[in-house]
């Protein structure tokens, strides 16, 4: 299962403010348009959204390609994409908000919140889950749960999943706290901890929605139309399909390949808090901008803790739900994601307060299109002319 991707190298309609291209004497918008076309064209007619945000204001946005190939439907500013593992950064901000409020303790064993229903709960802490150091084996590869996911013989894309179903594949952690190993399983457990302290899944969704409103602005509020963890009929009508290019060159449509009649139920949402969110590029960018630039989600000292690489991550630095990546000599704080034919990448250059986010509905076996496009945009935004 390629459930996530870690970048270590590279309702209401959304109202997009005037872009930099409209500013006299400033050709950034034009250059960003050209960079988007240059980078995205190598992936054919892949559907792509991209934005640049500074201090809550969209300073540039672009889109291209098809949201759905058949029947053909073009990408718009309102098209929704799965964020996949970019969701981990969004989830981590809420976890740390709960730590700030005293609801969670970073270093208390999670048995305090979930009892003994999760393997290893008496030794694993919230900090370990956030930093991928808990040591849980991959539940997607476990014999008890692997058949439940594509192309497993028990995969039913319209069947709702529960944490209990996933818990069957959660095994005892190996050397918890000793080493870094990127873990979707750990983030699923982290979501279960949040649901327990919130009083259930529905309560968690409400609490999350209220929290993320702080990332919005009067011009572009955070609504379920630009960032959500709920699979609804309204979301389906605005959702792109995810496409993966297979070894024989054909494209597999994740929405139709396995017979889903709506949004495949393993694509995002609870209990999949390793990739819980979907939305537009603008929605993702506003969360990073709020966390790393405007400071409306977390206290400064919490952001510092979040972005500080855990010692166990070594030469592949990773903090709490976020990692740094370098483009054009600048360091950007963010995350990437890939699953079900969707890819995403978002990062903030904290020295300039600039955030760039890219969402795409195309994956390749050897490339991550969203990250390729993001890197080209980041380089362009860092070059003065």
pLDDT tens digits, 145-177: 999 999 999 999 999 999 999 999 999 999 999
What DSSP letter does each residue of 54-108 carry, written as one string?
ETTEEEEEEEESEEETTTTEE--TT-BEE-GGGHHHHHHHHHHHHHHTTSS-TTS
Give the whole-number percent of the chain exceeding pLDDT 90: 90
How far is CA 353 from each of CA 193, 226, 293, 309, rounded to the nearest angstrom?
A: 32, 21, 5, 20
Which uninterrupted H or E stretch holds 253? strand 251-253
Report the candidate in 191, 216, 375, 190 with the shortest Cα–Cα distance to residue 280.
Answer: 216
For 369, how many CA atoms within 13 A lie in the half-sphere containing its CB? 31
- Distance, CA of 56 to CA of 54 (rounded, Å): 6
- Residue 26: the pLDDT is 61
- Residue 364: the pLDDT is 84
Contact 309, 224 (CB under 8 A): no
DSSP class of residue 343?
E
Give the whole-number percent of the chain exceeding pLDDT 70: 93
Report the candidate in 162, 161, 119, 167 with the shortest Cα–Cα distance to residue 139.
Answer: 167
Give the 3-state secondary structure of residue 165.
helix
**Taking 90 as the threshold, does the pLDDT of residue 9 lie above it?**
no
Mean pLDDT along residues 307-327: 97
Report the candidate in 63, 319, 21, 82 with the shortest Cα–Cα distance to residue 182.
Answer: 319
**Taking 70 as the threshold, does the pLDDT of residue 266 lie above it?**
yes
Contact 327, 251 (CB under 8 A): no
Report the candidate in 374, 383, 378 with the shortest Cα–Cα distance to residue 48.
Answer: 374
- CA atoms 303, 307, 311, 312: torsion sign: positive
Domains and CATH numbers, the chain: 20-220+252-381 (3.40.710.10)
Q: What are phi and psi of 327, to 5 degrees?
A: -145, 130
**Taking 60 as the threshold, does the pLDDT of residue 13 lie above it?**
no
Q: Using 50, 70 and 90 to split pLDDT, how confident is the model at 33?
A: very high
Token pair listed for 109: 């064993």
In sequence order, the β-bridge partners of residue 345 are 336, 358
Model pTM score: 0.93
**Taking 60 as the threshold, does the pLDDT of residue 11 lie above it?**
no
**Taking 60 as the threshold, does the pLDDT of residue 45 lie above it?**
yes
Q: Using 50, 70 and 90 to split pLDDT, how confident is the model at 28?
A: confident
Cα 118 to chain centroid, rounded: 24
Token pair listed for 263: 């949004």
**Taking 80 as the threshold, does the pLDDT of residue 23 lie above it?**
no
The mean predicted confidence, pLDDT, of the chain is: 93
Q: What are phi and psi of 232, to 5 degrees?
A: -130, 165
Q: What is the pLDDT of residues 229-249, one digit of tens each?
A: 999 999 999 999 999 999 898
């Amino acid at each position: 299962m390629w459930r996530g991707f870690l970048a270590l190298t590279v309702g209401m309609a959304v109202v997009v403010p005037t872009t930099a291209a409209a500013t006299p004497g400033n050709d950034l918008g034009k250059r960003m348009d050209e960079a988007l076309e240059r980078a995205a064209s190598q992936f054919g007619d892949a559907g792509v959204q991209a934005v640049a945000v500074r201090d809550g204001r969209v300073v540039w946005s672009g889109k291209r390609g098809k949201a759905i190939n058949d029947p053909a439907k073009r990408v718009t500013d309102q098209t929704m994409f799965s964020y996949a593992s970019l969701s981990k950064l969004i989830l981590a901000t809420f976890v740390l908000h709960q730590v700030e409020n005293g609801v969670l303790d970073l270093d208390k064993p999670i048995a305090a919140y979930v009892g003994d229903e999760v393997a290893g709960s008496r030794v694993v802490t919230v900090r370990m889950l956030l930093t991928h150091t808990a040591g849980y084996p991959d539940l997607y590869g476990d014999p008890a749960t692997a058949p439940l996911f594509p192309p497993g013989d028990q995969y039913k894309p319209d069947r709702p999943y529960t944490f209990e179903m996933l818990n069957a594949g959660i095994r005892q952690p190996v050397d918890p706290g000793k080493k870094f190993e990127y873990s979707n399983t750990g983030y699923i457990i982290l979501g279960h901890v949040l649901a327990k302290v919130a009083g259930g899944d529905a309560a968690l969704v409400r609490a999350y929605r209220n929290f993320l409103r702080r990332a919005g602005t009067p011009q572009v509020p955070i609504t379920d139309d630009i960032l959500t963890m709920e699979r609804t009929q309204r979301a389906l009508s605005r959702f792109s399909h995810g496409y993966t290019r297979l070894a024989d060159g054909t494209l597999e449509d994740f929405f139709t390949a396995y017979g889903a009649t709506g949004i495949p139920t393993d694509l995002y949402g609870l209990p999949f808090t390793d990739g819980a969110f979907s939305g537009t590029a603008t929605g993702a960018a506003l969360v990073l901008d709020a966390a790393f630039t405007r400071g409306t989600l977390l206290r400064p000292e919490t952001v510092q803790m979040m972005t500080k690489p855990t010692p166990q991550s070594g030469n592949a630095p990773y903090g709490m739900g976020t990692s740094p990546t370098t483009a054009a000599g600048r360091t950007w704080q963010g995350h990437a994601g890939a699953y079900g034919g969707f890819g995403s990448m978002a990062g903030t250059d904290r020295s300039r307060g600039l955030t760039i986010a890219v969402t795409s509905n195309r994956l390749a076996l050897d490339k991550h299109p969203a990250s390729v496009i993001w890197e080209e945009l980041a380089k362009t935004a860092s070059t003065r002319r």
